[in-house]
Every structure is written in structure tokens, then in C-alpha cells.
Structure 1
């Protein structure tokens, strides 16, 4: 027996079920949205904390890298290479330098002035070392140790040439600093340099908890001894370095030194200033007199600098002519007074 449903019986318009289902669906959707929003807020807070920790780590790493040569920390940061006690024997060119007269000057200066002079000197010398690609090993008081050949070598001859070029630039920069310090009342500060080329052990020395990338060997001691023998503004090189650079730089034999810790006498050559020892147009012009300091570095000049330099030189020439006219007039007036007195 079948049951026939009429349209009136199928009418659900006044039923409570559809609104209830709709309300329940909305509640479920709102609960899901609330849960997803809370997760989003949590992820956002975590990402913000992670970004803060990353920025802090980057800031710390940037600060720590100032204590380590870039040739050492860059491979570690880029490739996450392992760091351990390891070294090898390699042919390198080593430079020792310091300031002549600094010890005597330190006895008569305040600690603030002494620190200012030393920091200015180290800043300028470090910039030059970075420009030439040297590994700045360490600062020793007013001295510094640099070397070429590891971890990136351009060949033994080119390493020696780069080292000597760096030393010459340091000597020239010291002339500018000396003029600046002279105006401040500090006299007699000169650089001296010792350079040699030979085999040393270079790499990470120390322990698993503390490492130092440095050089150890007889050649390092030789460079230090040569630096001690050098005079004001002298760059002394050993025979091994001289053989590499003699075709590019004019050198003058100084002496055969008996050095502490070295059995045989060591021949040393002085590297002459290229601007004074060649007949070619020099890339440098340096001349110093009391009240006058001319320092031109054509290597670092840019094309748009020449006009400004010419204008400043013309202004200086006009001032010199004005001062010269004053001197001539003063001499003429003095001469007239003397003539009048004689009459």
C-alpha cells in the first residue's frame, strides 16, 4: 500500500531546521576562521622574532669580521667551510712596518693625542693594505704585519710586487699624515718597512677553542729584523724579494747586516721612490717646505677632478703673488727709509 505526500506536507518554509543548519554552518566557519587567524598571528610573531634574531646575528657577524682579515672570514661565511687547526708550508712575501720615533713621542704626549695619532695611522694603513689585497695579520703596538701569497696567491713574483707597491703607498701616505701632525705640533714621525720572500708555515694556529690565522717561520723573523734595521722612510728588502722586483723598481744596495738569530749576513736593498728614481712621468708629486705641502696622486684622480684641482692651484698661485707683492713693497719701503736716513 503506497503513501502519497501532498505539496502541503512537503512545505518546509516554516520549519526551524534550515535556520538551525545555517546558523551551525556559520558558527563552524567562524570558528575555523578564528583558528586560522590565531595561527596566522602566531606565525607572524614567530617570523618577526626570527627576523629579529637574524638581524642581530648579521650585526654581530659584521662586528666580528672587523677582527679577522676578509680573506679568512669570507670563505667561512659563503660556503660554511669547516674551521680547525690546520696550516701548510707556502711561499709568501711578508712585510713588517712601524713608526720611527713613536716610542719617544709617546713619552711626551697625552694618552688621548697618542690614541688619535695611532688610530689615524692604522686607519690609513689598513685602507692601503685592503686596496692591494694584503692579509693584515696583526697590529703590534705602532707596527703592523701583512703578507701576500696565502690564501690567495697571484704567483710569487706578483705577490712580491704587490707587497712593495703597498709599502710605497704607505710611505707616501705617511708624508701626508706627517704634514697634518706637524700642523698639530707633532714632529718626526716616519714609517720604516722590512720585506722578505720565502717559505713559512701559514694557517690556523692555536686550539679548538681559540684560533689565529698567522705565519710562523724564519722568513717572518727576517722581515722583522730588516724592519728594525731600516731608517726613516726606508723600505728594506731581502735578496729573495729583490730578485723578484728589481726589474720593476729601482733599488740600492744598503749593506750586509748581521741580524740576531740568523747565522749568515743578510744583504739588504733599499727601494727608491719611483717618482724620484725614474725618468718617466711620475704618478706622484710630493714636495714639502715649512708652510707648504704639495701632494698629488694622479693614480687616484678622476677625469672630473682636474678642473677643480686646476682652479685650486690657480687660487693658490694668486695668493702667492699677493704675498710676494707685499714682500716686494715692504722691501722697497724699507729701502726708501734707509735712503732717507742716510740723507
Structure 2
């Protein structure tokens, strides 16, 4: 500013002849130096800003990557409000009406004694992956994995009403049982037999929220109803979904159930009535979307929901081939019986 002020004053002087002397070149040179210095200064600021911007983008990408990894350990219903609104996280919980589901794999403990750790981990990870997808599809809060079991609940932090929460939980449990049938067929081909799911469900008031300390928190639930769901799951048989009376009252108009009996459960003074939820498709006769039948040496599993239009011809061809083989074996057995009968008559 001083240089340009001096230039303006000097050039306005009537005594200056711009075509002679050394004052004019010096002024022009000084002006060029100032302008070049300003360009250089702006360029350096731009380079510095660009470097800081790249560093900020790198830190942001790293932070997003870390958050994405950490969120895999936390239910989306818990971390999404924290990320979106930066809401405070404290040790807090409240009493709420929940529908709680406990599930595990029948026969997994016995199978673990005869399998290698690699095969065991593969089976368990496949099972948990499929069940987690189903839980997320139905909007359940996946509380935790317990060995080969899992705990889910509906009602917090987003509830659709006690009745709808119970219906959503039953729909999820039925989908899990159907998915287990598909997994069982795959595992059976790999030589792993006898893996079934069992599920216990109840509806009631529990305390749900953040439990722990300021340094370590866990979003979970505690209460007698959670214990009841766990006891019902332990009492269920292979592929059975047992529900308590409180859940049955909500779902009985939408799902066919039959009374499984009154169970004496650990931690409960009086017997607890339980109902078994039947598969809606399995009890619609010809409208069934599932066909599942097992005999020694024979496994039939049809899931019409997953079949495509161009699959039916191939399925029919394979069934016809299998039927021809059955007829051939039956004729062979009949011929062997006839030959044995002739030998007996000859003797």
C-alpha cells in the first residue's frame, strides 16, 4: 500500500518526465515486485489450505471407517441416534413393555465335541449371519450372542405398539425357523446332522437401556420376563417356538397355536402355560410354500418362495430322475425277494 501510494503521488507530480530518468523504471519494478509477491503469498496460502484439506479428508475417512467398524458391535437402533444428533450417552434405563426372544441351536453342544474348531466356527458364523439379516429385516434389536444362541427384543427404542411388536417378533421367529431348514440341508450335505433351532418368546415389562459405568456401557435389558423367555427356549423342542400366555394373547388371532402344556420353570414358583406357534404355510395344505420331509437316506426340502420361473422344469426333471431310480431300486428289491422265496421253496 505504501509503494502504490508513493507511485500515485510521484506520477501525479508535474515535474516527472516518464520518458527520462530512472524514477519511472524503479517505480514499475517495485510495482511488479509487489504484485508478484502478492501472487506468491496467495499461492502459498492455497497450497497450505489444500494440504490441510487433504489431511482433514484423510482424518474424516479414517473416522468414518472406524465408526463403521465399531457400529458392527452395536445395534443400529442404538448408534444411529448418537451419530445423527450427537446425543449424550449416559448410564440410564427405563421400564418398558418388550417382546423378548431367546434362541439357540439344538444339538450344537454335542456336535462341538466331534468337530474341529474351523468347522465349528464356520457353522456358527453362517448361522449368525443369516439370523442377523432376518433380525434386521424385521426391525429387532439384536441384544447379544450367547454362544450358539441369540437374544432379540422389540419395543425399544422404537415401538410400534405392544401387539404389533409381538406380531413382528413371531414373524421373525418363523422366518428364522424356515431359514434354519435351508441351512440344515446345506450342513447335511457336508456331513453335519441334527442341527435344529428352538425359540422362546414372551411379552412383559423389563428395564432396558444403558447399563454399566461411564467408561463402559452396554445397551441391554434385565428383568423377570427376560428370564422367562430364556426358560421357555430351554423347554422348547426341535424346531419349536414356545410363547408365553402374554404373547399368545397378542398373536392368537393371527397365528395358529396349540397349547404345549404348563411347564415348571426354574425361578418361577407356579407353572407357566406355553403355546407352540405352528408354521402358517405348513398348515395350508396344497397352498404350502414349504415341503420338508426327512427319512433315513431321503431328504426332501422345497422352498417355493425362493424358486424362479425357469427353475420348475429343472426341478421336475430331477424329481422324475429320482422317481425312476426309486422304482428301479424297488423292482430290484422285489426281484431279490422273489428269488429268495424260490430258494426257500426249493429247499
Q: How many residues align?
A: 330
Aligned counterpart, 1:152: 158
Is 1:264 the equivalent of 2:266?
no
Q: What is the deviation of 1:324?
A: 6.0
Q: Which moved more, 1:267-276 or 1:216-225?
A: 267-276
Aligned counterpart, 1:105: 111
For 2:132 and 2:293, the matched residues in 1 are separated by 24
Aligned counterpart, 1:137: 143
| Per-residue CA distance 1:151-197 (angstroms, 9 max, x = gap) | 11111111111111111111111111111111111111111111000
1:158-307 residue pairs with structure 2 within 5 A? Answer: 158-278=164-284, 281-288=287-294, 290=297, 292-298=299-305, 301=306, 306-307=308-309
Is 1:58 the equivalent of 2:64?
yes
| Per-residue CA distance 1:192-225 (angstroms, 9 max, x = gap) | 1110000101111111111111111000000001
Q: 1:334 to 1:187 in 2, by over 3 A?
A: closer
Pick one of 301, 312, 315 that aligns with 1:313.
Answer: 315
Q: 1:11 to 1:132 in 2, by over 3 A?
A: closer
Structure 2: where are the runs of 5+ without partners? 1-14
Q: 1:256 to 1:322 in 2, by over 3 A?
A: closer
Q: What is the deviation of 1:107?
A: 0.9
Q: Is the 8 A contact 2:232 2:242 kept in 1?
A: yes
Q: What is the deviation of 1:283?
A: 4.0
Q: Is the 8 A contact 1:275 1:285 kept in 2?
A: no
Structure 1 residue ranges, 4+ long, deviating more than 4 angstroms after superposition: 321-335
Q: Is the 8 A contact 1:287 1:295 kept in 2?
A: no
Aligned counterpart, 1:6: none
Q: 1:10 to 1:33 in 2, by over 3 A?
A: closer
| Per-residue CA distance 1:108-139 (angstroms, 9 max, x = gap) | 11111110111011001111111111100000
Q: Is the 8 A contact 1:87 1:201 kept in 2?
A: yes
Q: Is the 8 A contact 2:291 2:300 kept in 1?
A: no
Q: Which moved more, 1:185-194 or 1:16-25?
A: 16-25
- Superposition TM-score, scaled by structure 1 size: 0.88
| Per-residue CA distance 1:16-35 (angstroms, 9 max, x = gap) | 22221111111111111111
Q: Is the 8 A contact 1:230 1:236 kept in 2?
A: yes
For 1:280 and 1:327, the matched residues in 2 are separated by 29
| Per-residue CA distance 1:248-272 (angstroms, 9 max, x = gap) | 1111111111111111110011111
Structure 1: where are the runs of 5+ without partners? 1-8
- Superposition TM-score, scaled by structure 2 size: 0.87
Q: Is the 8 A contact 2:241 2:277 kept in 1?
A: yes
Q: 1:55 to 1:12 in 2, by over 3 A?
A: closer
For 2:197 and 2:294, the matched residues in 1 are separated by 17
Q: Is the 8 A contact 1:176 1:295 kept in 2?
A: no
Aligned alpha-carbon RMSD (Å): 2.8
1:87-98 residue pairs with structure 2 within 5 A? Answer: 87-98=93-104
Q: What is the deviation of 1:319?
A: 3.6
For 1:166 and 1:80, the matched residues in 2 are separated by 31
For 1:255 and 1:332, the matched residues in 2 are separated by 46
| Per-residue CA distance 1:13-55 (angstroms, 9 max, x = gap) | 1322222111111111111111111111110000000000000
Aligned counterpart, 2:43: 37
Q: Is the 8 A contact 1:196 1:238 kept in 2?
A: yes
